Amino acid sequence: MNIEGNGHMNQLIWLTGLSGSGKTTIANALKPLLPNCYILDGDILRKGINQDLGFSIEDRIEVGRRIGEIGKILLDANHHVIVASISPHRATRDKVRFLIGEPYMEVYVQCPLEVCEQRDPKGLYKKVRAGEIRNFTGIDSPYEEPVHPEIVVETNTLSVNECVERIMKYVENNA
């Protein structure tokens, strides 16, 4: 499956879910299937454009706003955009949906907390449980699950390829 540059509207695919749910893995698997595609990864943006922000509610809202604005600029420049960001607050994702409009596609990368903790690719859950990190989404800071995402992919039961196939099928049917 590959979307050709045939005049179809570019999409902003917003992957949201807990740390360790598979957002970045799915984003990297999707990228080769979308022409002119750019990934906005929350972890990478935290080291750059969002390095001045912490993890307060206000700062998390600002992180989401900045990612949405960058995504809009990239869409306007004729790119497909994949956002891989926890983005724990529903209101933030809803504001980005309003900003972007029809090209916005929310994908809930759903995975039970226990499985995310077992995966713990960055060792963050271990640090949280040891008291080294506070305000961690899903543990001592809330994650508000999407109410009406366009797609839900359950990464504890689906392979990366199956997740990508479901997302691409939606993209192709709604391009």
Q: By C-alpha distance, which of 28, 14, 65, 24 is closest to 171? A: 14
19 is in an annotated binding site: yes
> Residue 30, SS3?
helix
159 is in an annotated binding site: no
Q: What is the 3-state secondary structure (H, E, C) of 75-95?
A: HHCCCEEEEECCCCCHHHHHH
> Cβ(67)–Cβ(16) under 8 Å?
no
58 sits in the region (left: phi over 0; alpha: psi -120 to 50; else beta) called alpha
Helices (H) and strands (E) in the chain, counts: 7, 5
155 is in an annotated binding site: no
Query: Of 56, 87, 141, 159, which one is the catalytic site residue?
Result: 87
22 is in an annotated binding site: yes
42 is in an annotated binding site: no
What is the number of residues in the chain?
A: 175
20 is in an annotated binding site: yes
18 is in an annotated binding site: yes
23 is in an annotated binding site: yes
**Is 87 tagged catalytic?**
yes
Point out the annotated binding site. Answer: 17-24
| Active site amino acids | 87
Point out the annotated binding site for ATP. Answer: 17-24
